[in-house]
Amino acid sequence: MAYLNANIPVTYAQIRREYLYDLKKHHGEVEDCIIFAMASITGRPILFHAIMENGAIFYRLPISAFIQRGFDVQEVPRPRLDELELWNCFSYHPAVTSFDILDGQHGKYIGKDKKWHPGSYLFTVDWAHPESNILDTDHSEIPHEHKCAHILALDDGNYAAQPNNRLIWSIPSFTVKNEIPNWKVQTSDWNVEDSSRWRTEDTDNFFYEIEEKKHD
């Protein structure tokens, strides 16, 4: 698992030029870029690193700084950052995965505006605590607090980062039910080594027996 910075699938995009000038000028302009990595800082949105055609690299820009190649910047909506990405990073330790089952698939997320926003899957960012000797002050491994971020290329030209409970995927050969599930948040800490229930026999047998503990 990476610390702070992580590679992501290379994404050819356009950057809104005002983000290169601290939002002070060049509004409504874009230039081509390649987004190649991300930074994960606890309590901050996912921040992306991009290289420009002049060879310069700009670090730590939010997902709202980018639009897709082939789109006219004047025609691409400008939602707020918090409308494109619902949650901040949960730790300094991100895991980036491209799930095969979602590769190239279409989906839609429900936004703060109560509307559905369609797009295509790119990759997923998830978080965890790195090791037991570091104090865990994050929420990444609390069952009812955990969220991942699926990165989408939206049909309107923007990008978005949304968790599972805001997304519905469309896999034509399988997702045949048109419904929004009414599931509940998962709150259980699962554990198969509950010592109150069982123990192994006290021998050197390779195929040892397992005994259920008797309770009074």
pTM: 0.89
In the numeric block, which tokens belong to residue 92? 């300094």
State the pLDDT confidence band at 39, using cuts at 50, 70 and 90.
Answer: very high
Distance of CA 86 to the CA centre of its chain: 10
Question: Closest by alpha carbon to 9, among 103, 105, 117, 87?
Answer: 103
Residues 47 and 161: beta-carbon distance below 8 Å = no
pLDDT at 141 (0 to 100) = 67
What is residue 160's predicted lDDT score, i.e. its pLDDT? Answer: 98
pLDDT in tens, 83-129: 999 999 999 999 999 999 999 999 999 999 999 999 999 999 999 88
pLDDT at 190: 84
Residue 211: partners with Cβ closer than 8 Å, 6 or more residues away: 198, 199, 200, 201
Judged against a pLDDT cut of 90, whether residue 211 lies above it is answered with: no
- What per-residue confidence (pLDDT) applies to 144? 66
